[in-house]
Structure 1
Amino acid sequence: MSLQLSASMLRELTYSTTRFAAYEELKSYFTTSSSPPGLPALIAMGCISGFLGGLAGNPADVLNIRMLSDAALPPERRRNYRHAFHGLAHVVRNEGVGSLYRGFWPNSARAVLITASQLASYDTFKRLCIDKAGMSDNLTTHFSASLMAGFVATTVCSPVDVLKTRVMSASTSESGVTGLLREICRKEGITWVFRGWVPSFTRLGPHTIATFLLLEEHKKIYRMLKGI
């Protein structure tokens, strides 16, 4: 578990850092005191940032999945990476750099969805709390906005997560994603998109809240040090 943790930490250092940094840079570039970016612009920034985060974090995600599944493999098939950087070197040396980007498109698609839904909705809800509800830019506002952002992110990502799970668990005889999607809709109706929503929110909601509370504190310290 401690070995797999190194891959998880590397993923967060690459994926999360890149998507948040890119989003803040884009927002700073396109924001003026008289004209803050609207929701469509924030969503576009979130999509770009999510794609860049998926690009940066995919190698660590590949290692994370491999190290997590290693224990379930027979001893002769285990990769036995000592840590994340040993795994990176091993993959590049034996399989080529391209292997670090296996599953890039589905991973980046989810990164785009979750980044756009989390960050754009958080900024929108925060602005509504301050401008419309008369709240101050404080911990209560950050908590309220991040809670609502977690709700939006879970709802937006729920169909993708459900479909991904169904595809991974489907037998090879079933006909592709389109055929599987058609079959699910026929049997379960539109409600399939919200299967597992509650456990997803239980996981993503607190994560979103903690992320934005820490981010706001980080920005506060950064502004203080920079004299902004």
Structure 2
Amino acid sequence: MSTPPSSLKQDWLHTPFVRVALPFINGGLAGMTATAIIQPIDMVKVRLQLAGSAADSVATGGAMAVTRPTPFSIAREIVAAGKVLDLYTGLSAGLLRQAVYTTARLGFFDTFMNALTARAAANNTSDASKAGIGFGERALAGLAAGGLAAMVGNPADLALIRMQSDGLKPAGERANYKGVFDALLRISRNEGITALWAGCTPTIVRAMALNFGQLAFFSEAKTRLKQLAESQASKSTQTLAASAIAGFFASFFSLPFDFVKTRLQKQTKRSDGSLPYKSMFDCFRKVARDEGLLRFYRGFGTYYVRIAPHAMVTLIVADYLGWITK
């Protein structure tokens, strides 16, 4: 696998415009592939986070559910209430989010790294690692790319949450969105265009925390594993193990922000026009007070099972696409 297929090495692939666009295109395709595989897990994760919300209980005048839901009970209820395909509710929004978010995230990161590499070349050094492109700069590039991409992709992310949580409402109150574009249109028409950026702050912080966990701990774990198992494990095995470790820390750092983002994006105005949560900090405060600090980590196992494979599939597909188009 040292030379890409000659049939794919066309002159148009090496034009300046295509070379700039390829990191974004490959990143988007990789993210969409991973989302198509992981979507059922994401659906269960969102339902698990929203189950038994204190704000929903107050809004509906009911009491908090006594039975604590589990990923398996939620998946069983979804299948029992409809069809297996219900686990793919919101897939169109998930694919759109990846087409925007992952395209931007990986594209920006690659662009930033190319700029750092160019700076290394300007310093008369061919070895980037010796030109000051260390862990700190790579981490900052990842944080910046994640934050920018999250801001751009927030509308699609909000539509995904609304579509996945719609089934939790009473039948007469459901929006029954026909697809992601129908959701975006109706939300902007009924709540204003700015509503598409509801939960934007925790979304950006979540993306930065997620990227930090992946970058910092993937790099550290890979180095440690290489030292400990240089002669006992293959390079691919070390990479997969490091990805799993990075996925754990990425999940740990980002889950509280993902939880708050989900709550903020799911909420709609009450009959009096008010919202359950006024801001990210208000949501953190009320959930911690009414539901306890551990509530932020409910569904950690499900979240990890979603984050780690999604990251692995995305990176593997992106790497392959980069190889056949280089």
- TM tier, shorter chain? 0.7 to 0.9
Q: SS at the partner of 2:181?
A: helix
User: Which residue number in structure 2 is paired with residue 92 of structure 1?
Assistant: 188
1: CA distance, partners of 2:287 / 2:162: 28
2: CA distance, partners of 1:52 / 1:204: 20
Counterpart among 100, 103, 112 of residue 17 in structure 1:
103
User: Which residue number in structure 1 is paired with residue 325 of structure 2?
Assistant: 222
Q: SS at the partner of 1:80?
A: coil
User: Which residue number in structure 1 is paired with residue 199 of structure 2?
Assistant: 103
Aligned letter for 1:8? G
2:161 pairs with 1:65: yes
2: CA distance, partners of 1:85 / 1:165: 19
Runs of 5+ consecutive residues of structure 1 not aligned to the other structure? 224-228
Query: Could you give the per-residue CA deviations for residues 59-78 of structure 1, whole angstroms, max 9, x where no partner exists?
Result: 01111111112222234432
Contact kept in structure 1, 2:260 and 2:284, CA below 8 Å? no
- How do 1:1-228 residues align onto structure 2 when only pairs under 5 Å count? 1=86, 2-31=88-117, 32=120, 33-36=126-129, 37-122=133-218, 139-158=236-255, 160=257, 176=282, 197-223=300-326
Considering only CA atoms, is the larger Rg found in Structure 1 or Structure 2?
2
Query: Could you give the per-residue CA deviations for residues 99-124 of structure 1, whole angstroms, max 9, x where no partner exists?
Result: 11011101111011112322454356
Query: Could you give the per-residue CA deviations for residues 159-184 of structure 1, whole angstroms, max 9, x where no partner exists?
Result: 5457779999xxx7xx9567569869
Q: SS at the partner of 1:79?
A: coil
Q: SS at the partner of 2:127?
A: coil
Stretches of 4+ moved more than 4 A in 1?
A: 123-138, 158-168, 175-184, 191-199
Contact kept in structure 2, 1:149 and 1:208, CA below 8 Å? no
Aligned letter for 1:113? A
91-100 or 59-68, larger mean C-alpha shift: 91-100
CA RMSD of aligned residues (A): 3.8
Query: TM-score, normalising length from structure 2?
Result: 0.53
Normalized per residue, the structure richer in helix is 1
Q: SS at the partner of 2:175?
A: coil
Contact kept in structure 1, 2:217 and 2:249, CA below 8 Å? yes
CA separation of 1:131/1:18 partners in 2, compared to 1, >3 Å: closer, same or farther? farther
CA separation of 1:222/1:101 partners in 2, compared to 1, >3 Å: closer, same or farther? same
Aligned letter for 1:84? V
Contact kept in structure 2, 1:22 and 1:49, CA below 8 Å? yes
62-71 or 73-82, larger mean C-alpha shift: 73-82
Aligned letter for 2:322? K
CA separation of 1:138/1:21 partners in 2, compared to 1, >3 Å: closer, same or farther? farther
1: CA distance, partners of 2:170 / 2:286: 31
Identity of matched residues, %: 29
